[in-house]
Amino acid sequence: MADASLLQELRGVRSATPSVWFMRQAGRSLPEYRALREGTTMLDSCVRPDMAAEITVQPVRRHRVDAGIFFSDIVVPARQAGLGVEIRPGVGPVFDHPVRTAADIDALPVLGDDYEAALDPIREAVRLTVAELGTTPLIGFAGAPFTVASYMVEGGPSRDHLRTRALMRSDPEAWSRLAAWVAELSGRFLRAQVLAGASAVQLFDSWVGALGEEQYRTHVQPHSAAALARVADLPVPRIHFGVGASHLLTPMLEAGATAMGVDHRMRLDRALEILPEGTPVQGNIDPAVLFTSEQARFAEARSVLEAGATASGHVVNLGHGVAPDTDPQVLTDLVSFLHEQDVRPA
């Protein structure tokens, strides 16, 4: 069977019709999600295979996007490894015990057979999802070492990630052990999803834009590379994405990605000038246009298609995730609009 065109784009083979999915397409913008989640915590819903599968499929059914993104969270692996963590609505992930000292890092659980077994519900959820999706590909994902470690060090969401960046500079050896632990945690989570049937992966380094290039290359890139290396022997495209990370596009690609996610702060044609020729890109409709007129939304969509026209492959996405108060009909209409466009070179 031929690969779905979204996977082809990620491999550098263009189609006449754009392929599209949205980061955070599942979740609170959908009434059917809110109904299903009623009475179950976010993290519990991630380890109930039937629920995780159904939530993953909901936006594909409704919006006709060209891929599902596995319903989970970047902190699910930490929880399956035994750390105390919850997701507070309106706040984000919060850890019971922040990991701040060398002693805290030494006390992290060993990632042995217990961790492998704790990933069973994830494998089961992926299998159920893939069966339900049919020919629509499933994208697996994980959080990158910097972003996940930042939640662990800060204890919760943070604006400037000061404690994390200070640890990196004051005790680079301890930082390196923490980042290596997260790389194994996230890398094995990615691998479990691919072996269970996911056809592509995305590594989210959402907050890495807080770092300069030198800090990134020294303290983060080797660990992101270790996470991606865990799936490098498998035949799936590897997308790497960060927010406000336009200055890190090249080092993030060099961490072992095969395609780059670009946020809405940089036009795709500019990103393509920076990246090596032939790099497939993903992005980058500004999520703010979802709250404007249809005319403005379609104009932005067309502008993104134009900016990506010379790429070897382009998967349309938002520049960051769908906000919870987005009108779902706006997303459905945007997908139909994109699917009516012809992007064959003139």
Catalytic residue annotation? 24, 28, 37, 73, 151
Cβ 201 vs Cβ 193: under 8 Å:
yes
Q: Single out the residue of 277, 262, 238, 3 nearest to residue 140, CA to CA.
A: 238
Cβ 150 vs Cβ 212: under 8 Å:
no
- Binding-site size for ligand CP3 (CB under 6 A) equals 24
**Which residues are paired to 314 by β-bridges?**
281
Site membership for ligand CP3, residue 71 (CB under 6 A): yes
Cβ 232 vs Cβ 257: under 8 Å:
no
Nearer to ligand CP3, 55 or 304 (CB): 55
**Binding-site member from 77, 140, 321, 328 for ligand CP3 (CB under 6 A):** 321
Nearer to ligand CP3, 253 or 322 (CB): 322
C-alpha–C-alpha distance, residues 267 and 262, integer Å: 8
Per the annotation, does 58 bind a ligand?
no
Letters for 255-274 (x = contact with ligand CP3 by CB under 6 A, - = none) are: --------------------
Nearer to ligand CP3, 26 or 178 (CB): 26
**Which residues are paired to 201 by β-bridges?**
140, 238
Site membership for ligand CP3, residue 90 (CB under 6 A): yes
Nearer to ligand CP3, 26 or 271 (CB): 26
Q: What is the sign of the dihedral through the CA atoms of 304, 305, 308 and 310? A: negative
Per the annotation, does 28 bind a ligand?
yes
Stretch that binds ligand CP3, among 18-26, 174-182, 278-286, 297-305 (CB under 6 A): 18-26
The CA–CA distances, whole Å, from 83 to 79, 179, 217 equal 5, 16, 28
Q: At 232, list the tokens.
A: 């490098």
Per the annotation, does 27 bind a ligand?
yes
Site membership for ligand CP3, residue 127 (CB under 6 A): no
C-alpha–C-alpha distance, residues 165 and 216, integer Å: 10
Longest dimension (CA), the chain: 61
**Binding-site member from 39, 89, 112, 276 for ligand CP3 (CB under 6 A):** 89
User: Residue 37 CB, nearest distance to ligand CP3 (Å)?
Assistant: 6
Residue numbers 206-265 binding ligand CP3 by CB under 6 A: 206, 243
C-alpha–C-alpha distance, residues 165 and 232, integer Å: 28
Site membership for ligand CP3, residue 122 (CB under 6 A): no
Q: Report the phi/psi class of residue 278: left, alpha or beta, with left for phi > 0 and alpha for psi in -120 to 50.
A: left
Binding positions for substrate: 24-28, 73, 151, 206, 320
Residues of this chain that interact with ligand CP3 (CB under 6 A) are 24-28, 37, 42, 69, 71-74, 87, 89-93, 141, 147, 204, 206, 243, 321
